[in-house]
Amino acid sequence: MENKKTILALLPIGVKYTNGLSRRRPGNRRWQWLAGEKFGRKKCWLFTICLALLFIFSLSWHLFIDSEWHPRAMFPCKAVGHALINSEWHPRAMFPHAVGHSTNITEYLDQFKEVKLQGHSTNITEYLDQFKEVKLQRKLYNKPETLKPPRTDVLMMTPWLAPIVWDNTYNIDILNDQFHQRGVRIGLTMFAIKKYTVFVKTFLETAEKFFMVGHKVNYYVFTDRAKEIPNITLSEGRRLVVLDVPSYKRWQDVTMRRMEMIHNYSRELFINEVDYLVCVDVDMRFNDHVGVEILSNVFGALHPGFFGASRPEFTYERRSQSQACIPTDEGDFYYAGGYFGGIVEEVYKLTNHCHQAMMTDKENNIEAVWHDESHLNKYFLYHKPTKILSPEYIWNDYYGSPAAVKRKRFIGVPKDYAQIRFK
């Protein structure tokens, strides 16, 4: 800054000085060399140009060194909470994270990009040195066969190279080793509003048997009846968090407001406590293994009723007045509204987008045909998930037992909707 002030002060003096040089008479030998034919009056402006270049260089250097500069994207970048120096290491995004700087959490989440480098360029070595090595121990397993894929009866990869998780397409022992070394904590959210509290006990008991066994888990129960939530004995490293939230008259409003509540708590709570969020319906039970194979930046699940259907059969919102509208010539898959997740930052973006779209629809007096599920499908059409779960992960016995679904991991609990839902 001092250099910049000095150059600014010298610039007008330099102009005056060079103008004076050009007015010196040739008879004065002291200035004759400047006023001669080889260095005429016009060329005296060379001094002014040099000073101007010096000023520009000084200013540029000041911006590069003294500002928060992004060395890869080559533009000034706001560092949240000076993450490299003042924050703890956060394994989910593989870069220093502003956890603990609560006043900056909203700014951090709103500015989140999939690839984001925090801090000053002078600390790049410190940044790189903090990457945690994830090294597998010696392990014996069958060699992957390049010419013999584990499944040929189902699609295992999307056109944008996101894996579709089916039984017998992954090695859970390798995945567990990797995630254990990273020390991740998973948050599982569910909404138990009004009569839906009756499902919590079965949900939690079966989750303790099958969901992320051996990993750290936070169960987040959103409810308007906290006293009705049962006290379940949990395994070590797992905890139950009851979140008191308002109810709504219509069940449709409850299901749509889930996006808003998850969005708000991502900023206020989840960002400081967990690495991944898994957002599911509470009127379900775990029936088989559900582990870290589901985790990715942002993931959704194929709806069990449409995983073999064509585009025209998908029950997308088709009315152009709705923010959830998807034309008949678009669409990849039909995703279930009761199962999505990812790293907290991505879930924050997803839920914010869907909530804002639903609020726009409300202002226009229109409601998407399948509420939040319609908006989730629209979001995944233009924000491709990085992993997709097969219908094994959200099944309903109503659909029978197709050959492709070899394991039913998460199943809907039979219920009388007329009794359990409220008007």
| Catalytic residue status for 236 | no
Task: Give pLDDT tens digits for 61-112.
Answer: 555 544 444 443 333 333 333 333 333 334 444 333 444 444 566 666 666 5
Alpha carbons 3 and 21: distance in angstroms, whole number: 26
Alpha carbons 223 and 239: distance in angstroms, whole number: 16
Fold for the domain defined by 164-420:
Spore Coat Polysaccharide Biosynthesis Protein SpsA; Chain A (3.90.550)
Q: State percent of the chain over pLDDT 90.
A: 61
Alpha carbons 195 and 289: distance in angstroms, whole number: 28
- CA distances to 241, 254, 300, 315 from 340, rounded to whole Å, are 20, 17, 4, 18
Q: What is the pLDDT of residue 44?
A: 59
State yes or no: pLDDT of 397 exceeds 80: yes
State yes or no: pLDDT of 148 exceeds 90: yes
Question: In this predicted model, which residue has the larger pLDDT, 51 or 114?
Answer: 51
The answer for residues whose C-beta is within 8 angstroms of residue 419's C-beta and 6 or more apart is 195
Domain locations in the chain as residue ranges: 2-66, 70-129, 164-420
Which strand (E) or helix (H) includes residue 69? strand 69-70
How much of the chain is in helix, strand and coil states, percent to nearest 5? 45, 15, 40
The answer for residues whose C-beta is within 8 angstroms of residue 65's C-beta and 6 or more apart is none
Longest dimension (CA), the chain: 110
Q: What is the pLDDT of residue 41?
A: 55
The two beta strands, 69-70 and 164-165, are unpaired
State yes or no: pLDDT of 135 exceeds 60: yes
Catalytic hit among 260, 346, 373, 392: 373
- DSSP result, 241-280: EEEE----SSHHHHHHHHHHHHHHHIIIIIHHH-SEEEEE
Range of 35-39, 71-75, 315-319 with top mean pLDDT: 315-319
Q: What is the pLDDT of residue 134?
A: 84
The predicted model gives 264-291 an average pLDDT of 97
Q: What is the pLDDT of residue 123?
A: 73
Q: Which two tokens stand for residue 90?
A: 């956060």
Q: What is the pLDDT of residue 128?
A: 80
Q: Which two tokens stand for residue 61?
A: 């250097």
- CA distances to 113, 169, 388 from 160, rounded to whole Å, are 19, 18, 11
Task: Give pLDDT tens digits for 205-232.
Answer: 999 999 999 999 999 999 999 999 999 9
Q: What is the pLDDT of residue 54?
A: 78
Q: State percent of the chain over pLDDT 70.
A: 72
Is residue 164 within 8 A of residue 158, CB to CB? The reply is yes
This prediction's pTM: 0.73
Considering the chain, what is the average pLDDT of its residues? 81
- CA distances to 80, 137, 173, 179, 184 from 133, rounded to whole Å, are 25, 12, 18, 12, 14
Tokens 């010539």 correspond to: 329
Task: Give pLDDT tens digits for 335-376.
Answer: 999 999 999 999 999 999 999 999 999 999 999 999 999 999
Alpha carbons 213 and 176: distance in angstroms, whole number: 10
Task: Give pLDDT tens digits for 166-204.
Answer: 999 999 999 999 999 999 999 999 999 989 999 999 999
Alpha carbons 117 and 79: distance in angstroms, whole number: 9
